[in-house]
Amino acid sequence: MEKIFLNKNGLITKNGKKLTTSVLKVLGNTIEMDEAFTLNSFFMMVSQYPDLKNISEILEPLLEIFSKNCGSGFKTEELESLLFYKTIEIKGFPGSPSLSFYTSLKGVFSKKRLDLKFFHLENLLDHKLSLGKLNHVVFGDREDVFQYETFYTLFELVEGIAWELSFNFNPLECSIRR
């Protein structure tokens, strides 16, 4: 499968060369990310390739927050890094048996995955972002999750991160309240 590389500065390269075609043509390409790729890099990429903004209506307001805070260098000490991964979940009960497939963005601290929705986006921007393995949850058993190597497309990354960060419109005062 064709692969593209996401650089730390947000630039997309293919076979070592800067992308010259429309970014829409590589949405289905698998991605590999710079080891130093951060959430900042993600928003720099979306800014450089404006077509990506149209993937989700939530990206524009997220970019507004990013543009006000990029380069601030501040990151929460409650997290070490960010992890983007896929999950396949088979459910037998309650309800009808079903199979769900979704992506998640979590914070990582001491090898534990933490929910991000209580963090402010401003505090996540400088954290490194990496791609994780596919998690296979069978019949609700979250203790013994199977993990497999997998791949991610550019579309999955952009749309998945937009969805996850759409839960982060927390007023800045909220952390004080808690």
> Between 26 and 62, whose beta carbon lies closer to other proteins?
62
* Closer residue to other proteins (CB): 118 or 155: 118
Q: Which of 16, 71, 73, 94 binds other proteins (CB under 8 A)?
A: 94
CB-CB contact of 91 with 98 (8 Å): yes
Q: Residue from 109, 151, 155, 167 that binds other proteins (CB under 8 A)?
A: 167
With vertex at residue 132, the alpha carbon angle to CA 126 and CA 168, rounded to the nearest 5 degrees, is: 45
- What interhelical angle do 154-165 and 59-69 show, nearest 10? 80
Asked if 173 is part of the footprint of other proteins (rule: CB under 8 A), the reply reads yes
- How is residue 16 annotated by DSSP? T
* Residues 66-98 as b or e (16 or more Cβ within 10 Å = b): beebbeeeebbeebbebbbbbbbbeeeeeeeee
Site for other proteins in 54-93 (CB under 8 A): 57-58, 60-61, 87, 89, 92-93
Would you count residue 103 as binding other proteins (CB under 8 A)? yes
Chain residues 108-137 in contact with other proteins, contact rule CB under 8 A = 115, 117-118
Scan for tokens 């991605």, then name that residue: 31
Answer yes or no whether residue 172 interacts with other proteins by CB under 8 A: yes
Residues in the chain: 178
Residues that bind other proteins (CB under 8 A): 57-58, 60-61, 87, 89, 92-94, 100, 102-105, 115, 117-118, 140, 160, 163-164, 166-167, 169-174, 177-178
